Every structure is written in C-alpha cells, then in structure tokens.
Amino acid sequence: MRPYLADRLGNPSAFPAPEAVVGAGGRLRTVSLTDLLPESRIRADRRLGTEHTEPLRQNDRTPGGSAPVVTDSLWDPAQYLRHTGHRTRPFLDLLARVPALPGDPPRIADLGCGAGNVTALLAERWPRARVTGYDNSPEMLGTAEAGHAGPTPGGGRIGFARADVRTWAPGPGRPYDLIVSNAALHWIPGHADRFAHWVAGLAPGGTLAFQVPGNFDAPSHTLLRDLVASPPWRDRLDGVLRHDGAVLRPEAYLERLTGPGCTADVWETTYLHLLQGEDPVLDWVKGTTLRPVLTALADDPRARDAFLTAYRSALRAAYPAGPHGTPYPFRRVFAVARKGE
C-alpha cells in the first residue's frame, strides 16, 4: 500500500498489500492506486461510458432497503472521472476521521456511489467489509459494476444497487456500521431531514459520514446561474439547476446531527486545485454542475454549443491560467457523526 493512503487513513494494517481491485465476474485486475491521487489523471484511453445513453425504466426495491428507483440520463461516468484524483482527495480526508466500526465484518452503505471508484476505497480501508453502493444512474452503476463489483482480496464483497437516496432507508433488522456519502447529498432537497432515518439504521457505535461541495457562491456557479437566467436561456432552462439551499452551513449540520443522539465532528476545507489543460474549469463542471444543462440541451446541439461558448468565455475571465496550471479553489463541508452505543 502506498504511504499516501496509509498516512491519510491512519491505519496501515487495514489495507491489503496488493494494489488490486475486483473487476467484472469477480476477477482480480491489478491497478495503480496513483490513479486515485490528486497529482494523477485518468488515462486518456480509458473508456468508461457514453453521454446521454438511454436509461432503464423500471421500479424496483433495493436489497436490504426500501428505496423506489428514480433514474434519468443525467450522468456521464467518463466525464466525471476525468478529474478523479482531485475529486477523490476529499473522500480520503473524510475517511481519515471515521472511527473504528463496531461490526466484524462491517456492513457499509455508500449513498450516491457514482462510478464506484470511492466505493472501492471503503474495501481498502475495511478489507472484510460488505459494501453496497447505491445510486439512481444506470450509466454510473454500469461502470461501477464492471469495475468494482464482486469479492475483495480481504474477504469482503462490493455490490451495487439502484436506489433513490431521497427515500432510501436501511432495511429493518439489518443495521449498517457505516453509512457514507461522497459529494452527493447536495443533489437531494431536504437531505438533512433524512439524517434521523439513517442514524436509526446504524448499529450502536456506527457512523454516518459525508462531504458535500460548499462552493455555490464561487464564480463557476454564479456565472452559470446568471447565464441560465439570461435571454435566450431563461425560458428553456428555467428550473434545471439544483435547488436553493442545496448545502447547509456547517453549524446547521452540527445541530442536525447531534439531535438524533450522535457525537458529531463537522468542518470545512477549501482545496486549491491546480488544473491542467485547456479550459479545465469548464471540463470539471461538465462532470457535475453543468450536467443538468447539458441534459436539457441534449436534443439541440447548436443551442448546447452556443451555451458552452458563452460559459467558456466567462470562465476563462474568472479563472485565468497561470504558468503552472489553472488554480481552482473549491470549498467543501465535512461531517462525521457517531451513534451512541
């Protein structure tokens, strides 16, 4: 195990020695964990998905939970993973604060697991764990299943299931030792109202941990909102961006998490990412913030290109490139809440 991950997570013995993950059909394939570190970038020839694929349409219930499936064609795994190193670093910082889990082997739920790349890190930290990643995007789940589902080298297992995090709850009589979410809850209106349900589904001494972006007042977001609200876009794009109040203040999270009887640790960090390439901030937001707009304009390529041209110009002025790359400050809010025993 590379020293970076061991140092970050504070428990070198918790990691298996081989740098391996489980691929489709349970077959081991060797990978370099440097793909997950901030200074690395995903290989250009890795093809993980396509944009605007046709979503599956069905209602289902997830194993061990009670979540109806809600899905759309919003997400593009390949675009999201283009900045995987920078996006993974906050999750490593979050895991560094998670205390020992009560179960052996522990049961872990990853809410909004996306492409499964951070779900795999949970099995690195707890090699015997039974980890289930929940998401409502068939594109993301397809990538997660292909790359990470199956038995793990430490004797655990990773699985994935379709679920709507807005209504997901642990199944009765099957508590989790850790419920975790990485950069997903800001898409869920009123997500703090779910805390009590999730804490109730934890085993005594279990943990709820999450991190969410806190940069909605950054130029990358304010410029996007201004453009969407301007002619000729406001009629066509009205309501496509995420709701107001997507993320609470850290003090509000602290209050909401201590209410259900947890000991909570809440903090914020601003990362200064040094992005490379042409228009890297635009490339970043294409994987997340800009997805609703791209989806809304998917049937009109000329309109989509016109929107991107205007947004690109505004971002270049707000985030000028320097001699070593383009600095992109990104604030995030973290919370780790441990249930009483």
Q: Which of 223, 225, 230, 236 is nearest to 295 (CA)?
A: 236
Q: Which of 82, 153, 90, 148 is nearest to 116 (CA)?
A: 148
Structure tokens at 193: 């109202």
Cβ atoms of 134 and 60 within 8 Å: the answer is no
Structure tokens at 304: 């989509």
Q: What is the pLDDT of residue 114?
A: 86
Q: What is the pLDDT of residue 258?
A: 94
pTM of the shown model = 0.75
Q: Which of 77, 61, 291 is nearest to 162 (CA)?
A: 61
Q: What is the pLDDT of residue 284?
A: 87
Start-to-end CA span in the chain (Å): 32
Q: What is the pLDDT of residue 173?
A: 86
Q: Which of 243, 111, 242 is nearest to 164 (CA)?
A: 111
Domain architecture of the chain: domains with CATH: 3-213+248-275+325-339 (3.40.50.150), 219-244+277-324 (1.10.150.290)
Q: What is the pLDDT of residue 240?
A: 86
Residues in the chain predicted with pLDDT less than 50, given as ranges, are 1-73, 80
Q: What is the pLDDT of residue 287?
A: 77
Q: What is the pLDDT of residue 69?
A: 29
Q: How far apart are CA 163 and CA 70, in angstroms?
A: 7
